[in-house]
């Protein structure tokens, strides 16, 4: 028999059935996710050992739960990507669970932590209502916070305002386009409106890291210019313009720029059509 204190009163004798009832109640609370539940500390003998052991298990679960919540906040909301789960020495037997979660975090944040400085970016259009609302939000910041920090160009616009009626473009299309242009201007983006900036503005140079979002520009920059750029989406290209950085992967890495196919021809194209045909054959 053991003694069980109730509401701070003098311990009273209890029987095995009562102890089991208390145990069942605590287990039910833990099963429901309540890790504040505890077994009585004043139990003695075998029942006391069971109570102490269960309390230790509950405390370990509570610590793990609280640590998960902490890391979720600092990594997921605050962006502190180096933070990881840390538990006390007495929870070392839980190391497998801890290592699994930390390994998952490492894998998830690795592409974000590996950043490459870039010297140029290219942002496109066609963002839709949600994308343009995002642009407007960025443009609403103060001028010292919203400006791009590297030269950033634009792809061709989606509307020719002077020919909108002829093209039968709806008024809402024109409104989206005007909002896009207004936001880009406020962000300090150069309104080049071209997909051949390597001919009309300035080509990226050999070894230069850039972040372009136009297929042709990316191909030309990597091959003819010898620059380095992945094919970026509009938001990621603009983010590169705002931060001067882009994730370091793909064509920014030497290991990903090795040839996988070598083609030798016995003739040299002389016209643009011939060069295009040769490129089409190789690309196919």
Q: What is the pLDDT of residue 12?
A: 46
Q: 192 and 153 in contact (C-beta within 8 Å)?
A: yes
Q: Report the 10 Å Cβ neighbour count for 47.
A: 21
Task: Give domain limits for the chain.
Answer: 2-113, 116-283
Q: For 215-265, give the DSSP string.
A: HHHHHHIIIII--B--B--HHHHHHHHHHSEEE--GGGSGGG---S-----
Distance CA 16, CA 58 (A): 22
Q: What is the pTM of this model?
A: 0.56
Per-residue pLDDT of the chain (284 residues; tens, 9 = 90+): 444 444 444 444 456 788 889 999 999 999 999 999 999 999 989 999 999 999 999 998 898 889 899 988 888 777 677 788 887 765 566 778 888 888 888 777 665 555 667 777 776 655 678 888 999 999 999 988 899 998 998 888 888 888 989 988 888 888 989 999 999 999 999 998 888 888 888 888 999 999 998 888 999 999 999 999 999 988 888 999 999 989 988 999 999 999 888 888 999 999 999 998 998 888 87
Distance CA 41, CA 49 (A): 10
Q: Report the 10 Å Cβ neighbour count for 144.
A: 6
Q: Output the CATH code of domain 116-283.
A: 3.30.499
Distance CA 87, CA 63 (A): 7
Please classify residue 240 by burial: count the beta carbons closer than 10 Å to its beta carbon, then call 0-12 exposed, 13-18 middle and 19+ buried.
buried
Q: 30 and 40 in contact (C-beta within 8 Å)?
A: no
């Amino acid at each position: 028999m053991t003694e069980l204190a109730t509401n701070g009163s003098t311990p009273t004798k209890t029987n095995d059935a009562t102890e089991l009832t208390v145990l069942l109640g605590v287990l039910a609370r833990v099963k429901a996710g309540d890790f504040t539940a505890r077994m009585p500390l004043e139990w003695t003998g075998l029942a006391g050992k069971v109570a102490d052991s269960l309390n230790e298990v509950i405390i370990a679960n509570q610590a793990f739960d609280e640590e998960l919540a902490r890391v979720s906040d600092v990594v997921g909301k605050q962006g502190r990507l180096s933070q990881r789960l840390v538990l006390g020495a007495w929870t070392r037997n839980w190391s497998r669970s801890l290592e699994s979660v930390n390994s998952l975090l490492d894998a998830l944040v690795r592409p974000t932590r590996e950043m490459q400085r870039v010297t140029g970016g290219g942002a496109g259009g066609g963002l839709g209502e949600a994308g343009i609302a995002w642009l407007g939000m960025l443009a609403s910041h103060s001028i010292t916070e919203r400006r791009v920090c590297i030269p950033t160009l634009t792809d061709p616009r989606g509307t020719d305002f002077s020919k909108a009626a002829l093209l039968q473009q709806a008024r809402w299309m024109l409104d989206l386009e005007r909002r896009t242009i207004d936001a880009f201007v406020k962000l300090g983006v150069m309104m080049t409106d071209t997909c051949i900036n390597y001919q009309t503005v300035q080509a990226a140079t050999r070894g230069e890291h850039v972040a372009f979002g136009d297929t042709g520009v990316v191909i030309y920059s990597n091959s003819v210019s010898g620059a380095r750029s992945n094919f970026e989406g509009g938001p990621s290209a603009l983010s590169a313009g705002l931060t001067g950085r882009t994730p370091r992967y793909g064509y920014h890495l030497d290991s990903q720029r090795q040839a996988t196919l070598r083609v030798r021809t016995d003739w040299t194209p002389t016209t643009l059509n011939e060069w295009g045909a040769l490129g089409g054959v190789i690309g196919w």
